[in-house]
C-alpha cells in the first residue's frame, strides 16, 4: 500500500521538553511525581513509570521529593500547595501555555473580564483558570450566551484549538456588543501546522490514520478535522489497534499523529502499512 505521512506530525517541542525533564530528574532524584500523566500516551507514561516516575492526581498525594509540572501547566492553587509542602518543583510548562497564563493575569489586571475559548475539562484550561478571577470558558455558542454584558472583554484561546473555531467564536462574541473587545491570538503554531498538513493530506488519500492517545485533545482535534474532509478517517493509538478489513479496496493511505505520539509509533505503523 502506498503510504503518505503528513509533513508535520508527532512530538512537539513542549512535549519533548517535558519528557526530557522527567528523564533527567529521574536520574538525579529519588522521588519524582508527575501531576497528571506527563503526556497523553500510555506507552510513554508506562516507560517513565518503569523508570520510577509516579503519577499522582493531586498534590495531597505527594509526601516528599519533586513534583513535575507537565507541559499543560498547573493552576496557581496547585503551585501554592506544592510550595507549602516544601516540595521541589520541576516546571515543564510549555512556554506557550505560560504565555496564556500570563495574559490571563495581565488582562484581568487591566480591567478586562477574561474569556478563554477552549475545553473547560482540559488541564491547560483548568490551569489558566486561577490566573484571573472569574474566567469564562467558551467551548461553544451556548457558553457565549452566559457572558456578562456591558464590560470590557479580553479573549484568549486554549493553545491547541483550531484557528477556524477560534475565529468563529470570536465572531459570535463580537455580535453580542461589548464596550471593548480585546482578542489575543494564543494558538500554538506547532499545533496549527499539524492541523494544516493533516487536512491537506487527508484530501489526497483513500484512508487516513490519525495516531495518538485517545485522551489527547490535539490528536482528537486532528481526527475531527480530517473526518470533515475524509470520512475514512480513523483515530488509533498504534498498529495493534488496526482492523485490516478497513484497508480493503484502498490504495493510498495517509498518516498523521498528535503532538504526544512518539516517532517509534509512527514509524512502526507506516512500515507495517507499506507491507500490506
Ligand atoms: S502543542 Fe504547542 S502549546 Fe502544546 S505543548 Fe506542544 S508546543 Fe506547547
Quick: pLDDT tens for 169-226. Answer: 999 999 987 789 999 999 999 999 999 999 999 999 999 999 999 888 889 999 999 9
- Distance from Cα 251 to the centre of ligand 1, integer Å: 33
Asked if 164 is an active-site residue, the reply is no
**Mean confidence (pLDDT) of the chain:** 94
Nearest CA to ligand 1 atom 2: 188
CB atoms within 10 A of CB 163: 14
pLDDT of residue 140: 95
Predicted pLDDT at 207: 98
Could you state, in order of their start, the residue ranges of all structural domains in the chain?
A: 2-10+191-274, 13-94, 96-183
Backbone angles phi, psi at 155, to 5 degrees: -110, 130
In the chain, what percentage of residues exceed pLDDT 90? 89
Distance between CA atoms of residues 138 and 174, nearest Å: 13
Nearest alpha carbon, ligand 1 atom 1: 191
Say if CB 258 and CB 216 are below 8 A apart: yes
C-alpha cell at 167: 475565529
- Which pTM value belongs to this model? 0.90
Residue matched to cell numbers 480513523: 234
Ligand 1 and 159: CB distance under 6 A: yes
Mean pLDDT to the nearest integer, 34-44: 91
* Contact status, residue 273 vs residue 3, Cβ threshold 8 Å: yes
Is the domain defined by 96-183 classed in CATH 3.40.1010.20?
A: yes
- Annotate the chain with three-state secondary structure: CEEEECCCCCCCHHHHHHHHHHHHHHHHCCCEEEECCCCCCHHHHHHHHHCCCEEECCHHHCCCCEEEECCCCCCHHHHHHHHHCCCEEEECCCHHHHHHHHHHHHHHHCCCEEEEECCCCCHHHHHHHCCCCCCEEECCHHHHCCCCCCCEEEEEECCCCCHHHHHHHHHHHHHCCCCEEEECCCCCHHHHHHHHHHHHHHCCCCEEEEECCCCCHHHHHHHHHHHHHCCCEEEECCHHHCCHHHHCCCCEEEEEECCCCCHHHHHHHHHHHHCC
Residue 75 confidence (pLDDT) above 90:
yes
Cα atoms found within 13 Å of the Cα of residue 106, Cβ hemisphere only: 11
Q: Which of 260, 209, 273, 216 is nearest to 235 (CA)?
A: 209
Number of the ligand 1 atom closest to the C-alpha atom of 12: 6
CATH class in words for 2-10+191-274 = alpha beta
> Could you tell me the distance, in angstroms and rounded to a whole number, from the CA of residue 43 to the centre of ligand 1?
19
Q: Which overall architecture, per CATH, does domain 13-94 show?
A: 3-Layer(aba) Sandwich (3.40)
Place of cell 490519525: 210
* Identical topology for domains 2-10+191-274 and 96-183: yes
- Amino acid 155: pLDDT: 97
Q: Is the CB of 222 under 6 A from ligand 1?
A: no
Q: Whose CA is nearest to atom 5 of ligand 1?
A: 14
pLDDT of residue 49: 96
Amino acid at each position: 500500500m502506498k503510504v503518505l505521512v503528513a509533513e508535520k506530525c508527532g512530538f512537539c517541542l513542549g512535549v519533548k521538553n517535558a519528557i526530557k525533564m522527567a528523564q533527567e530528574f529521574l536520574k538525579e532524584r529519588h522521588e519524582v511525581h508527575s501531576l497528571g500523566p506527563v503526556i497523553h500516551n500510555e506507552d510513554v507514561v508506562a516507560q517513565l513509570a518503569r523508570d520510577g516516575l509516579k503519577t499522582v492526581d493531586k498534590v495531597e498525594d505527594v509526601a516528599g521529593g519533586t513534583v513535575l509540572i507537565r507541559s499543560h501547566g498547573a493552576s496557581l492553587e496547585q503551585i501554592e500547595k506544592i510550595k507549602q509542602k516544601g516540595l521541589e518543583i520541576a516546571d515543564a510548562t510549555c512556554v506557550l501555555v505560560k504565555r496564556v497564563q500570563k495574559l490571563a493575569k495581565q488582562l484581568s489586571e487591566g480591567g478586562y473580564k477574561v474569556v478563554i475559548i477552549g475545553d473547560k475539562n482540559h488541564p491547560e484550561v483548568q490551569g489558566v483558570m486561577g490566573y484571573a478571577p472569574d474566567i469564562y470558558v467558551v467551548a461553544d455558542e451556548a457558553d457565549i450566551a452566559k457572558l456578562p454584558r456591558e464590560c470590557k472583554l479580553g479573549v484568549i484561546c486554549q493553545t491547541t484549538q483550531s484557528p477556524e473555531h477560534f475565529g468563529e467564536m470570536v465572531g459570535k462574541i463580537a455580535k453580542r456588543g461589548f464596550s471593548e473587545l480585546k482578542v489575543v491570538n494564543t494558538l500554538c503554531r506547532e499545533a496549527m501546522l499539524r492541523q494544516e498538513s493533516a487536512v491537506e493530506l487527508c484530501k489526497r488519500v483513500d484512508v487516513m490514520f490519525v495516531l495518538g492517545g485517545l485522551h489527547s485533545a490535539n490528536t482528537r482535534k486532528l481526527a475531527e478535522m480530517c473526518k470533515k474532509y475524509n470520512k475514512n478517517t480513523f483515530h488509533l493509538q498504534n498498529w495493534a489497534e488496526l482492523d485490516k478489513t478497513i484497508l480493503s479496496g484502498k490504495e493510498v493511505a495517509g498518516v498523521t499523529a498528535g503532538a504526544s505520539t512518539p516517532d517509534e509509533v509512527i514509524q512502526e505503523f507506516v512500515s507495517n502499512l507499506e507491507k500490506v
